[in-house]
Structure 1
Amino acid sequence: EMEISEVLLITAIVEIFSGARSHLAKCLNDIALRHFTPGETLIFSKSYNEYRNNLQFQRKFLTKTDDVSSSISAELAFLSSPLEELHQQELWPLVLCNRQICDEFRHGTRSKHSSYIFSLQARDLIREIREKLTALKELAEWNPRAKFVVAVEQCYFFSRNVNAVVEEILTELWNWKIVNAVILIPAQNIQFQCNGNESHNKSSKRQVSEKLPIPLLEVFTWFPYQLSNLCGQVKRAILINTWVLDGEDREGFLHEIPLFGKKIPSDLRGCPVRVSAFAYSPFFNQDMNNGKHKDAIIFNDGLEFSLLKTMIAATNISVTFQPLPVGDDLWGRPLKNGSWTGILGQVLSGNSEVAVCGLYYVCHLSNGFECSMPYIFDETLWYIPCPKPFPHWMSLSRVFDVSLWLVFILVYVIYSTLIWVSVMLYNMQGNVQHPCTSISKCFLNLWAIILGVSAYDKSPEKTIIRVSFLLWVMYSLALNSVYQTFLTSFLIDPGLEREISTVEELLESEMELGIPTTVDTVLPELTSSRYWRHTLCPDMSLCFRRLAYEGNFAVLCSRYSTEYDEGHKYIDSNGKSHLCHLKQTFSLQSVTMTVQKGSLLLEKFNAVISHVIEAGLMNLWWKDLKFLATLRADKVLEAPNSEYTAMTMEHFQSAFFVLAFGSLLAVLCFVWEFLH
């Protein structure tokens, strides 16, 4: 008799669960048809093992008889009716997911999931939710902003207040950045049936006899920023709808209202947002005159600082800047254990909500990040030492190119030799001796014509020699006029040495290369053997000082950052920059804000960024920043004198070098003649 009563009790409980499952299947089907986008992936997460392991009555009675075990297994198989209802609609790609099955989809499509249904069956609801979310978060398609339906299918253990249970579930979802969620809980009359409450059973029978709507499932949700003092804290679960059975045995929602309404208001009521940033011009310029709060991070200007102020005004948030990360990796780089350093690590660990400081797009490197829409399109360039001016002692020779000097010398030698041969042939005919009787005299006379001085004391008598002499005079006059015309320009400005123009030339120059500490994260080619001479620059200002004032050093850096600093840090008194760069762009990068995946702020930030870009404010702020930097630089610049340039000994170095060489040569000739 005892075993028969136990079997009857089990059968009664299973019938109650089967009926509840039938109501739940219809409710989930109705929610999916009304709110889930057709054609987009629907994840249904459940676990039969957890269900069986947490049924205390099953542990107690399955060992009694095999017939009872078979009966229970048959009823458990029927409990898949919610999934069956959804599958029969054929409107969504339906994926049954738990810790084992989700692993098979890790290399699937990159399109994000649109909706999730969690079927909670274990006694420890929070642990079950946490395990499901842990498995799903590993997927690249994981989407915390999707629509979530959490169905609590057990009712026999609800000894506490239903609102407290729902608030615990919502709090756990909030810890995973999930807000757009509804919780389905068996109505109180179903729970009382599970617990065998006879008085409530009589009340349900009265509702049926009077054809009143009978509550079957209650739908709860919450609104994180409903009150200014909450700011995302789950303090109150709200009953927004009820799934009922009317007097005509039809099931449906009691109220025709949307379940997934707008959860995040436009006004965030001054809720605090933790931001990770550091002083990095021109994106964030730190207030150097702040004497009252020396330990606090206070910015007073900057391109992204202006954007952040606009976001504060548009969304009514309050910003607190996080302390600087430990170490030299300010932006951050990935570690072998999956974590990150720098301000990106602060966001990934949850210590900060937004990382912003000239950050390049990194969301393809980690599944835990999400990036805003780009608002600055930057480029990285190789900055190199500017070419040095040629020494002034080379001014005399640089008027003509080397090839022209060689041709000139060759013509001079050949022409002098031809004149001397002509004179010798003329004298061999018994004529009067011509002055150009030796080859040395011939060379000296033609050189005198080049210099524009008197050559012959007696003009040649032979017509062919006179014509040759006249042609040399015309050639020398033209060459001398051009040389003297450009000589003054080269004495004042001797010109610049050849500049490095390509990356290949830079690598061949054996110049040491400096790169920011974390830029190799987004530009992994910098770690290849081709750039083996690279050096990390924890402090970019030190690297740029070395580049500007020492030379023999090249730096890869952002065009925005360098263009801003160049205008007031690395110019001489005449306003000339000490920095030059290759015309070839090394890489194009998008500057974005980085948040943790599922952040509620991303949608708000993207809306503000879109308006800022459309209004042209980024370009306006950039022009204003450069203009202010130029004004600050003008304080140390000297006004250039454009009327004239005073000639100094430095300009005439080449002339004095030639004079000294000529004097030395004359002394040597005198000594040689004196000795011989």
Structure 2
Amino acid sequence: MLLFELKTYCGRFLVCLIDLGISILHMLLRCSFELSLIFTRIPLQDSERTADFIGKDLSSIKAYYKEVDKKTCANYIFLLRDPKQLLKLLETLYEEHLNLLAKFVFITFVKESEIYEFLSSSPVNKIVNVLLGTPTGGTKVDLKLVSHDFFQNNRRISEKTLGTWKADQISPVFNKEDFVWFSDKLKNFNQFKFRVRTFNHPPSSIFEQNDDGSISYDGLEIRLLMVMASKLNFSAEISLPRDGEKWGRKLANGTWTGAVGETVRGETEVSFGNYFITSDRLKIMDMTRPYHIDYTCFITPVPKPSPQYSAVAWPFKLNVWIGVFLMLILTPPVVRLTGTLEVGMWFKNFGNCFLYTLGTFLNRSPPPQLMPLSNGLRIVVVTSSVAAMVMGVAYTTSLIAFLLVPLPTQPVNTLEGLLESDLQWGIRDTGGWEEWFRNSIDPTSRKIAESFKFVPGIEAGIEKVLDGNFAFMNSGTFLRYLVSSNFTNEYGQAELHVARECFVPFRIGLGMPRFSVYTSKFNSVIDHVVEGGMVSRWFQDLLDKAERKQRDKARKKQNFNEQLDPTSSAGKHLSLYHVQGPFIILLAGLVLALLAFTCEVLFCARSDHKLDGTDMKRKADE
């Protein structure tokens, strides 16, 4: 066997010559090619037949190719007499040692009736740039030059005769004057019908049943598929996996079910369903470049609102309440100081000054006999009244809203918060989720993995979340769409919460059978889609569309309930639940008053002293 490099105007070729006559090689070299010998190997016994050599020494041949890095071999020429042995050789090499995007020239003896079978055999049908030269017989060695086309006349592969190369001619004679050795065969897919396998998995693929029973399709990957179909000119026939599964699973015998299984077996041209691009998946199928980066998030119940009795404190933040408290502490001493110039003894009692200040802040007008006469106290009363008026208006207007709409508590948004909460958390029992968390270098992620609860599917996980004490982890894109499309009320409020902090990024792509010839074309279109920011725009459009639809559904349900119970639409009435705060304050005040009264009675009884009307008047004058 000979391996050498051949430099031509079509590029550099690695030539593999096993047992074909040197005369054919001489024809190639006459085309002003530059020959550079880079590697030479001779079989152990030249007398052995080629089939025996290939059958017994495939490992040796693979070793030869391993020594020549496939990245340095832009193109290949194989010269081998028996086409079956050539296919066997290619089948052995193509997965690891051949660059299938390169140009391939095959010189072998193929019967006229078997050319199509050869071109459609694996792995030749996985190579775009193929030139087959087969001797036509006779006394002189003449070559018939053939290649294949893809997606012509609704056929995946078709045979195409390029011309002939006679032994007595310096160069070949082609059927077209503007002939190109290796043309771009995948510019146009000519409306070839691509079989597409997917399932309802919003927002990647959305199946909606129309009134006439037909199915309409939408979603991120559906839209991406339509863009590729328009750009490359093919049609798509979308259907569910035949076995009724979604992604599918690996069986004990190594085969796969579902959409992934049909893709691996080549029963569909493309499949999708929010496929994560992983090393294990790339071993069994082709995947496009990522069109989207998704993250793992978790969804939890919306936290219960704060206790309604605390609603009276919600209009102001803590720092505002601290300011109000300081004003009530600092103002009475100023009133006591400026009240020394007033007539009588009332303002000279600090307790009276505090009650006077409190009444001002509660917008209570003082009695006429307590109207200030000194300028200092008047300034204090005016400024306090203005401040109290502004604070009071701000408080009362906000209080109405807080009485009607309870203040939600802070939801869980981080893994650390999830660990500190009383929630349980879990994932699907398939898909490799547990492995990703257990293999993480983050100690928090490993702690999360230790307490995983497994559920059989997404629906089961969401049901546990709705039960009120569970956090379900899944694709963040999927969870956000789920909330918009199913758990949003008529006011646009989410009824489930998706954590703001997401983790574990995943690249998302479409799946094709391994070594598909159109993978590179798909990648080219995806690059343009991503660069144009179309995926983010599509996702936001799908979210808005789903939310509008869900709000309309919730509004219709609300209208239906109002028709059944007309009193429900009579307006929002405040119930005891809404105003429980003031009642609790009043009850607390009454209890404190009774305690104060009890203490006074015990004090007076112990000192044999009883307050009479004269004493009360004297204390008031003081």
The answer, yes or no, to whether TM exceeds 0.5 is yes
CA distance in 2, matches of 1:590, 1:461: 75
Higher strand fraction (1 or 2): 2
Length-normalised TM-score, structure 1: 0.63
- Following superposition of structure 1 onto structure 2, how do residues 562-577 of structure 1 map, counting pairs within 5 Å? 562-577=479-494
Deviation at 1:137, TM superposition (A): 0.7
Deviation at 1:655, TM superposition (A): 0.9
Secondary structure at the residue paired with 1:274?
strand
Secondary structure at the residue paired with 2:273?
coil
Q: 1:292 to 1:474 in 2, by over 3 A?
A: closer
Residue in 1 that maps onto 2:43: 48
1:353 aligned to which of 269, 272, 276:
269
Residue in 1 that maps onto 2:618: none
Secondary structure at the residue paired with 1:305?
helix
CA distance in 1, matches of 2:448, 2:106: 56
- Name which one, 1 or 2, has greater alpha-carbon Rg: 1
Secondary structure at the residue paired with 2:166?
strand
Q: 1:162 to 1:456 in 2, by over 3 A?
A: closer
Residue in 2 that maps onto 1:135: 93
CA distance in 2, matches of 1:611, 1:623: 19
- Following superposition of structure 1 onto structure 2, how do residues 168-179 of structure 1 map, counting pairs within 5 Å? 169-173=118-122, 177-179=126-128
CA distance in 2, matches of 1:131, 1:57: 12
Residue in 1 that maps onto 2:77: 117
Unaligned runs of at least 5 residues, structure 2: 1-16, 54-58, 563-567, 606-622
Q: 1:416 to 1:360 in 2, by over 3 A?
A: same
Residue in 2 that maps onto 1:98: 61
Residue in 1 that maps onto 2:471: 553
- Following superposition of structure 1 onto structure 2, how do residues 424-463 of structure 1 map, counting pairs within 5 Å? 434-435=345-346, 447-453=358-364
Residue in 1 that maps onto 2:448: 533
Q: 1:604 to 1:55 in 2, by over 3 A?
A: closer
Deviation at 1:599, TM superposition (A): 1.5
Q: 1:460 to 1:332 in 2, by over 3 A?
A: same
- Per-residue CA distance 1:147-205 (angstroms, 9 max, x = gap): 222233xx7xxxxx82356455434335762353233334413xxxxxxxxxxxxxx4x
Unaligned runs of at least 5 residues, structure 1: 1-16, 59-95, 156-160, 190-203, 205-213, 427-431
The question of whether the paired residues in 1 share the 8 Å contact of 2:486 and 2:550 is answered with no
The question of whether the paired residues in 1 share the 8 Å contact of 2:285 and 2:511 is answered with yes
Secondary structure at the residue paired with 2:275?
coil
- Per-residue CA distance 1:83-126 (angstroms, 9 max, x = gap): xxxxxxxxxxxxx9931134456xx68x59532223436x6x53
1:144 aligns with 2:64: no
Residue in 1 that maps onto 2:584: 657
CA distance in 1, matches of 2:38, 2:199: 40
- Per-residue CA distance 1:28-53 (angstroms, 9 max, x = gap): 4468959xxx99xx999987359653
The question of whether the paired residues in 1 share the 8 Å contact of 2:105 and 2:132 is answered with yes
Secondary structure at the residue paired with 2:77?
strand
Deviation at 1:369, TM superposition (A): 4.0
The question of whether the paired residues in 2 share the 8 Å contact of 1:396 and 1:491 is answered with no
- Per-residue CA distance 1:621-646 (angstroms, 9 max, x = gap): 97478437624641321589999965
Query: What CA RMSD, in Å, does the superposition of the two structures yield over aligned residues?
Result: 5.6
CA distance in 1, matches of 2:306, 2:353: 35
Residue in 1 that maps onto 2:195: 274
The question of whether the paired residues in 2 share the 8 Å contact of 1:567 and 1:633 is answered with no
The question of whether the paired residues in 2 share the 8 Å contact of 1:383 and 1:555 is answered with yes
Query: What's the % identity of the aligned pairs?
Result: 22
Residue in 2 that maps onto 1:83: none
Deviation at 1:279, TM superposition (A): 0.8
1:182 aligns with 2:131: yes
The question of whether the paired residues in 2 share the 8 Å contact of 1:269 and 1:317 is answered with yes
- Following superposition of structure 1 onto structure 2, how do residues 221-232 of structure 1 map, counting pairs within 5 Å? 221-223=147-149, 225=151, 228=154, 231-232=156-157
CA distance in 1, matches of 2:123, 2:290: 27
Residue in 2 that maps onto 1:25: 25
Secondary structure at the residue paired with 1:53?
coil
CA distance in 1, matches of 2:503, 2:252: 28
1:253 aligns with 2:172: yes
Q: 1:48 to 1:629 in 2, by over 3 A?
A: farther
Secondary structure at the residue paired with 1:357?
strand
Task: Report the AA paired with residue 345 of structure 2.
Answer: H
- Following superposition of structure 1 onto structure 2, how do residues 476-555 of structure 1 map, counting pairs within 5 Å? 478-479=387-388, 481-493=390-402, 495-498=407-410, 505=417, 509=421, 511-513=423-425, 524=436, 527-528=439-440, 529-531=443-445, 532-533=447-448, 535=452, 539-544=457-462, 547=465, 550=468, 553=471, 555=473
The question of whether the paired residues in 1 share the 8 Å contact of 2:204 and 2:274 is answered with yes
CA distance in 1, matches of 2:211, 2:331: 78
CA distance in 2, matches of 1:143, 1:558: 37
CA distance in 1, matches of 2:582, 2:32: 92
